[in-house]
A and B are shown apart, each in its own frame.
Chain A
Amino acid sequence: MSAITTPHEQVSHQRGIRETKTPGRLQRLWRDIKANKVSYLFVAPFVILFLVFVVIPILISIGLSFTYFNMIEPPRWVGWSNYLTLFLEDEIFLIAVKNTLLFAVITGPISYLLCFVFAWLINELKPKIRTFLTLLFYAPSISANAYMIWTVMFSGDAYGYINGILLYWGIIDKPVQWLVDPRWMMPIVIMVTLWMSLGVSFLTFIAGLQGIDDTYYEAGVIDGVRNRWQELWYITLPLMKNHLMFGAIISITNSFAAAGQLQALTGSTPTDWATWTIMQHINDYGYVRYEMGYASAMAVLLFITMVLVQQLVQRLLAKLG
């Protein structure tokens, strides 16, 4: 970035290059800034909000993660102790880490694939059906708290729809405690998450596919593309690379931050902590116990993990093109 000037250069400018015809970098920069006053007015309101509500909170989190802070006394510096406690003493945190990774590794890629496969198949249909199916697949992700319905369907008594049907058909002989039995909790939570995961990425892929001009496919036939798989691999995917990268970002973010549906389905003290994730552990320490420093340390770790995974996946996808 050209905007960075070292203090050393700054000093050399102040020492009388002022009158020379070629102005120094800092002066040029200053002139550039003044010339673009209007642009700064345009970006200023949003950038200030972004700084106050996104950038500064990240910095505050990092700072607080090295303190003990309970909202009543001022923060007290404790060094790495929060991080050490997390890994050496907090067994539930380790379970949460395992669950979060398992959950993300399964829901992230599968939801990404589902988004693409459904978008690809839907795109070939006639416009009216296409519009209808797009709405149908997208609906669960926009309907506020729609996952609540699954708690009714998987309710542990015989009136729960799933239990009722299975009992009636004689597949089970007593109601299954779907949301309390650790063997079922994680699979159900993953299924519900996939159900509500055809969101922004899905729409992005639909739009990306619609934006590919038919002439590419016609040219492909001349160049020897023989079947649909070759068409997908040699024409569609390369043309959609940018959309695929954007979709990956959204899918990964969602898979790491899941908390709402988990809380709703398996409650705030799940059996054996079978569906407890880092995000829930953060909320628990932050809002229930008011241990803000400890909660911040977890948030910082989650933040770093997310960004690293994102960078890795973006690198991989960039290579595929």
Chain B
Amino acid sequence: MGLRISNRRLARSTGGNVAIFLFLAVGALFMALPMIYAISQAFKPLNELFIFPPQFFPRHPTLDNFSDLFILMAQSWVPITRYLFNSLFIVVMGTAGNVIFGSLCAYALAKHDFPGKALINSLILLSLMFAGSVLVIPRYLTMSYLNWINTYSALIVPAWSATLGVYLMRNFIDHMVHDSLLEAARIDGASEFYIYWRVVMPIVKPAWLTLIILSFQQLWGDQGSMFLYAEELKPLPYALSQIIGGGVGRAGVAAAVSVILMIIPITVFIINQSQIVQTMGTSGITGE
């Protein structure tokens, strides 16, 4: 069968390899150092936070900052478990709605043909072109009109309308689910909902995991300060930011706080990394 060429890709010069290694190393250091610094601050005893010259790593690592944090939180009149519950409730409900409504819509946009579909597709693409934050003013007015100020709904329900996940999911379904499979299911008499739930959703697991991550990230960082006034409704990041604002004496505790806030989304991402990369593979803009 004709000529067989070697599988090897083009080689690079040694100089090129060294340059690339250096570039990656510098980049990686720049990315990693602040994170490592945050972690090392969290494990420093208070006196080490204020020595000159500042040390990068703690000399006598301690868990005091974390235990102080729990003592502080235990003293506040709203218990830490309440803040944690608020955060989890908002994140879980917001994410669940976005996944369910978003995937229903994405399936129809990817595999059905109906009048208005092109319009919806282009509106979703358009919505990616500006940041949701330009809508803060009317969104606030909508919330007060609906009487949702100071309720969880003010954070949860708007999260259901996030478009990035829907966009990614539609592309993913389009690429990964073959029409023949859907046809076969229809011939067997499956309803559209059955097909969506039992055929499409299992195939596009990477896509909805990605949607979960994106939504989780978005909601986890939200302090909700615009919509929630009652202390007992506020999420964890708000409580923690109050501690950070507590002044110099709390510097160590503040570092512990930022480590906790950081560790959770990173862990969730590590668990799902390969699935997310798979989903992003189909994220390209196609001529529509």
On A, residues with C-beta under 8 Å from B are 1-3, 29, 32-33, 36, 38-40, 42-43, 45-47, 49-50, 52-58, 60-61, 64, 71, 114, 117-118, 121-122, 131, 133-140, 142-146, 148-150, 152-153, 158-161, 164-165, 167-168, 195, 198, 200, 203-204, 206-208, 210-211, 214, 217-218, 221-222, 225-228, 231, 240-243, 245-246, 249-250, 252-254, 256-257, 259, 279, 282-283, 286-287, 292, 295-296, 299, 302-303, 306-307, 310-311, 314
Q: Is B30 part of the binding interface, using a Cβ–Cβ cutoff of 8 Å?
A: yes
Query: B112: nearest residue on chain A (CB-CB)?
Result: A39
A2 to B116, CA, bound (A): 9
Whether B138 contacts A58 by the Cβ 8 Å rule is: yes
Interface stretch, picked from B73-81, B153-161, B177-185, is B153-161
B107 within 8 A of A: yes
Any chain A CB within 8 A of the CB of B253? no
A257 touches B133 (CB 8 A): yes
B14 at the interface (CB under 8 A from A): no
Distance in angstroms between the alpha carbons of A224 and B104 in the assembled complex: 47
What string of 1s and 0s marks CB contacts (under 8 Å) between B223-237 and chain A?
Answer: 000100000000001
Contact present for B158 and A144 (CB under 8 Å): no
Are B284 and A241 within 8 A (Cβ)? yes
A133-B24, A195-B34, A286-B140 as given contacts; A138 in contact with B269, CB under 8 Å: yes
**Is A299 in contact with B135, judged by CB distance below 8 angstroms?**
yes
Q: How far is it, in angstroms, between the C-alpha of A195 and the C-alpha of B112 when the chains are bound?
A: 41
Contacts from B to A (Cβ < 8 Å): 5, 7, 9-10, 12, 16, 20, 23-24, 27-28, 30-32, 34-35, 37-38, 41, 49-50, 52-54, 56, 101-102, 104-105, 107-109, 112-120, 123-124, 126-142, 144, 157-158, 160-161, 163-164, 166, 192, 196, 214, 217, 220-221, 226, 237, 241, 244, 251, 254-255, 258, 261-262, 265-266, 269-270, 273-274, 276-281, 283-286
Across the interface, B285 reaches (CB within 8 A) one of A135, A245, A282, namely A245
The reply to whether A292 and B137 contact each other, CB–CB distance below 8 Å, is yes
Contact present for B123 and A55 (CB under 8 Å): yes
**Given A1-B118, A133-B28, A299-B134, are A250 and B50 neighbors across the interface (CB < 8 Å)?**
no
Given A36-B114, A50-B161, A159-B54: A145 touches B9 (CB 8 Å cut-off):
no
What is the total of A-B residue contacts with beta carbons within 8 Å? Answer: 295
Query: Using Cβ atoms and an 8 Å threshold, which residues of chain B touch A292?
Result: 137, 141
19 A-B residue pairs with CB within 8 Å = A1-B119, A39-B113, A46-B161, A54-B135, A58-B138, A61-B138, A134-B273, A134-B277, A144-B262, A145-B258, A149-B41, A158-B52, A164-B53, A208-B281, A217-B9, A242-B284, A282-B134, A296-B137, A307-B130
- Residues of chain B lying within 8 A (CB to CB) of residue A198: 31
CA–CA, A204 to B172, complex, Å?
13
Q: How far apart are the CA atoms of A71 and B258 in the complex, in Å?
A: 36
Contact A282 B136 (CB under 8 A): yes
Residues on the A chain within 8 Å of B41, using CB: 149, 152
Complex CA–CA separation, A192 to B139 (angstroms):
29
A172 to B134 Cα, complex, angstroms: 41
The docked-state distance in angstroms from the alpha carbon of A250 to that of B263 is 24
Chain A contacts of B158 at CB under 8 A? Answer: 53
